[in-house]
Amino acid sequence: MAFVTRYQITDEVGRVLTADGFFSYDDDDAEQFRDEDDAIEASDRHPGTTVETFKRWSKYPDFIGHNAAARLESTFQEAAE
């Protein structure tokens, strides 16, 4: 087991964004993002919200996400130049 980092969107009264695009007081309904950039992008679509970071246990560690892999690739390309 390993700790994984997740992100969720919270509004000014403490409700969380759900996968359906609504806000709920039930944290179990929260949409969880693996990538911080994706969470920030979703937060930008909902004014007055913030991105909250949390860690939880998972049986399987995360693989590198698409955005993280693209950033890593661009870093290698810049270093090669």
How many CB atoms sit inside 10 A of residue 76's CB? 9
Report the distance separating Cα 16 and Cα 28, nearest Å: 9
- Distance, in Å, from the CA atom of 7 to the CA atom of 29, rounded to the nearest integer, reads 13
More confident residue, 69 or 75: 75
pTM of the model: 0.69
- Judge whether 40 and 50 are in contact, CB under 8 Å: no
pLDDT band at 75 (very low <50, low <70, confident <90, very high): low
What pLDDT score was predicted for residue 64?
54
